[in-house]
Structure 1
Amino acid sequence: MSVQRPTTRDRALPTELESPRAKLVYLYLRTAAASLDDLESDLELKKITLYSILRTLRERDLVEKRDGEFAVLE
């Protein structure tokens, strides 16, 4: 008996992400947009760390800020 999985597009992490924390934030935002406060509480990262990570993700055109929330660019 074989298991069939739904076909989805490639969901690999961008190769330019090296930091484990940046990967964590990116993967979190891939599920849904989130505010800075949401990221801080759910991922247990300090805001100062998140500011740096989000700045890098935005500079690399991986994440955008919309209506006070961050989301992955598709």
Structure 2
Amino acid sequence: MQRYDESRHSVAVPNDLESPRAKLIYLYIGAVGGTTTEALCADLELKKGTALSIIGTLRSRGHLERTESGYHLT
């Protein structure tokens, strides 16, 4: 399990996110400061296909970016 990054500021959920799972993933990534798909799936007990679908939506809306170390909020 990834640790909460206390140095991060509070994260506000974007208004265009309606899905509870999309909100959960967004808040999780904001709380840990970035993550890999594998860590996200393990910590949130999500199937990889579900996580990748939601991540794709978050990326297409400009909320996430993918780097060599994983996904981060924009």
Superposition TM-score, scaled by structure 1 size: 0.81
Alignment RMSD:
1.5
Check conservation: 2:11, 2:27, Cα contact below 8 A: no
Q: Structure 2: where are the runs of 5+ without partners? A: 1-8
> In the alignment, which residue of structure 2 is the partner of 1:36?
37
Percent identity, aligned pairs only, is: 43
> In the alignment, which residue of structure 1 is the partner of 2:12?
12
Instruction: Tell me, in whole angstroms, the C-alpha distance in 1 between the residues paired with 2:27 and 2:17.
Output: 11
Q: Give a deviation string over 1:7-38, Cα, whole Å, max 9, x none.
A: xx774210000000000000001121100000
Q: Structure 1: where are the runs of 5+ without partners? A: 1-8
Q: How many residues align?
A: 65
**Misfit runs of 4+, over 2 Å:** 9-12
Superposition TM-score, scaled by structure 2 size: 0.81
